[in-house]
Amino acid sequence: MNNVNGILLIIGSMAAFSLEDMFIKHLSTSVSTGQIMIVLGLFCGLVFVVMSLATRKRIFDPVAWQPLPLARAGAEAVGALTFVTALSLVELSTVAAVFQAMPLAVTMGAALFLGEHVGWRRWSAIGVGFIGVLMIIRPGLEGFQPESLFVVATVVAIAARDLITRKLDVRVASSVVALQAYIAVAIAGAVLMVFFAQPVVPLQTTQVGPYLGAIGFGVLGYYGIVTAMRIGEASALTPFRYTRLVFSIAAGMLMFGERPDLMTVAGAALILGSGMYTFLRERRLARELAVAA
């Protein structure tokens, strides 16, 4: 295992995802969310078609097109739809801060739906993390933005995606799973455009750069995470996923003039702290089980 290189790749991937989000938010000022999803879905999907063919993976393997993988792709589509919508309506730093609650949602979902044991300490950490979410979105208070609930919906959808991923057949190639997700994203974008009568915006020269940036950094981020997890230990790499929040806040401040207030910063700190505690607790329990075995 090469944890140093793995950590560097994780940090680079989080920076790439933050830049992808930045370009999507920039595009959303002139292009409908549905059209953005279609373009990202088609072009990123094409990349993973090439990857699947290059590595001789069977794209149309019947195992890969069973209900469970398709349900995962559906959850990905819902998550992408709500996430892109949130980026178009809410500050980038707010979206990034609330999204960090996703690992907590995964832990809660694993306990509720997969029968995994979660003790009172981790349940307490989950509760503290969601208090942080409430501090950021502030329902019922003066600073409340109903649009911020799209980020909460994203957390639920992506947590469901990750829980389904745990149950996928190991014979299904990762590149095929990614391809299915991007196909679902494109379809969801098309449905969004039809049902909400979103206009098709002809490509303008000023949009070429942001489109390429969103597609390129999205693919780089995905490739970096896959490579990192293959060369490093998950226990060493996972904490560095939270660097995405730092990059997103910086991008929001530099590109969009955002200034997160004290309540948002405090809420983000609660989310990060509870997430780190949950991760460290899970790692300790895994070690204790390994020693007992």
From its phi and psi, is residue 204 left (phi > 0), alpha (psi between -120 and 50) or beta?
beta
292 pLDDT more than 90 = no
Average pLDDT over residues 76-83: 95
Give one DSSP letter per residue of 64-98, joined into a string. Answer: GGSHHHHHHHHHHHHHHHHHHHHHHHS-HHHHHHH
Tell me: pLDDT of 46 over 80: yes
Tens digits of per-residue pLDDT, 131-168?
Answer: 999 999 998 777 788 999 999 999 999 999 989 988 88
pLDDT band, very low/low/confident/very high, at 254 (cuts 50, 70, 90): very high
How many angstroms separate the CA atoms of 18 and 197, rounded? 29
Alpha carbons 260 and 256: distance in angstroms, whole number: 12
Task: Specify the residue for token string 């490509």.
Answer: 203
Which alpha helices (DSSP H) does the chain contain, by range?
3-27, 33-54, 67-89, 92-99, 102-113, 120-137, 149-165, 174-195, 205-231, 234-237, 243-256, 262-292
| Euclidean distance between CA atoms 83 and 154, whole angstroms | 6
The residues near 264 (Cβ < 8 Å, ≥ 6 apart) are 93, 94, 97, 135, 136
Helix axes 262-292, 102-113, angle to 10 degrees: 50
